[in-house]
Amino acid sequence: MPHKIERSLQGKGYRLTASRKKLIEIFTSNIEEHYDFDNLMQLTGEGNISTMYNNLEVLINEKIVKEFYVGSTKFFEYNGNIHGHFICTTCHQFYNVDVPGLNCLDVLIKNKYNYLVHDSKIEFFGCCNQCKELKCHVCKNIDCKHNATHINIVNQYEYQFDEIEINGYVKYLEVCMKQLGKELSIVFVSNDKIQELNQEFRNINKVTDVLTFVDGQQNYLGDIIICYPQMLIQAKEYNHSIKRELLFLITHGYLHLLGYDHLDEKEEKEMNIMQEKLLAEYGVNRDEKL
């Protein structure tokens, strides 16, 4: 399959660079997979953003790859496998679904309206099987506080944040990382308190943004300690929303509780990829402003 695509592109006068060949190989080796832009940059090893944009534009124009959005995040997939998408409005994961007759809908449209269809997109929205398990037994909804009794939010300083947003995001992480129902605590502290903890447990006498403590009990993941004032500073420094910074710190801490770390370059890369994937699929991007 990749050789046929390569010959077709060469026949149309396109240069078959190593980067372009690698991109074709990625899409054709797993035709069910979806990739965002950062995934493709990492998988191809391409260091030039403009080159990646140009390569994707060629493949999209030649109908080899198609693009679609989940929330504000753009994804790319191989265009030879006709299917629709089911998007879970709770965890923001999406799945390929077979739609009977999808491959002949363009003919039906042409016959009925005489329109010429160039492309189509079928999307369904609802609740995936995993998220259905998270429905509240009290009110039968998913996005409620009744169902979050296993998430302990400690806020002794009366900091201002959206507790429902935090509960909803942690439930999303539970689904993605297959940790349903495991208890954890998210504790918001001051600069002085996190510096004290950092000194006591890491022998580093300075303010940091997040610390994690693994408990070791079977159904208790541990504690995520977030320095609220430092979170506000970093949101401003990175020129993105406080929500984005908050969810990033929760994600970072949550992955630490599951054993992810960044002690060497390989570990750091793996953790960074997972963090960005979780945030992007939830619909929170770096370009979200204050």
Q: What angle do CA 161, 164, 167 make, to 5 degrees?
A: 105
**Whether pLDDT at 181 is above 60:** yes
The answer to the question of residue 94 being in a domain is yes
Domain CATH for 15: 1.10.10.10
Quick: pLDDT tens for 189-234. Answer: 999 999 999 999 999 999 999 999 998 777 889 999 999 999 999 9
The answer to the question of residue 199 being in a domain is yes
- Both 155 and 263 in one domain: the answer is yes
- Both 156 and 240 in one domain: the answer is yes
- Both 181 and 59 in one domain: the answer is no
- Both 39 and 111 in one domain: the answer is no
Q: Are 82 and 46 a contacting pair, CB within 8 Å?
A: no
Domain CATH for 181: 3.40.390.30
The answer to the question of residue 290 being in a domain is no
Determine the pLDDT at residue 286: 61
Owning domain of residue 260: 133-282
pLDDT band at 26 (very low <50, low <70, confident <90, very high): very high
- Both 122 and 184 in one domain: the answer is no
Look at strands 210-214 and 220-227 and give their pairing: antiparallel
Q: Domain boundary at 128, 146, 166, which?
A: 128
| Lookup: tokens for 282 | 């939830």
The answer to the question of residue 288 being in a domain is no
- Both 166 and 95 in one domain: the answer is no
Determine the pLDDT at residue 118: 81
Domain CATH for 114: 3.30.1490.190
Determine the pLDDT at residue 138: 43
Residues 8-39 as b or e (16 or more Cβ within 10 Å = b): ebeeeeeeeeebbbebbebbbeeeeebbbbbb
Quick: pLDDT tens for 60-90. Answer: 999 999 998 877 788 999 988 788 999 887 7
Give percent of the chain above pLDDT 90: 43
The answer to the question of residue 287 being in a domain is no
- Both 159 and 250 in one domain: the answer is yes
Return the residue matching tokens 């997040």: 210
| Lookup: tokens for 11 | 């026949």
- Both 137 and 120 in one domain: the answer is no
Q: What angle do CA 235, 92, 65 make, to 5 degrees?
A: 100
CA distances from 161 to 184, 186, 212, 219 (A): 18, 12, 20, 26
- Both 56 and 89 in one domain: the answer is no
- Both 268 and 154 in one domain: the answer is yes
- Both 117 and 250 in one domain: the answer is no
Work out how many domains the chain is built from and give that number: 3
The answer to the question of residue 289 being in a domain is no
**Whether pLDDT at 285 is above 80:** no
- Both 118 and 26 in one domain: the answer is no
Give percent of the chain above pLDDT 70: 91
The answer to the question of residue 154 being in a domain is yes
Q: Domain boundary at 70, 104, 128, which?
A: 128
pLDDT band at 137 (very low <50, low <70, confident <90, very high): very low
Burial of 70 (0-12, 13-18, 19+ CB in 10 A): buried
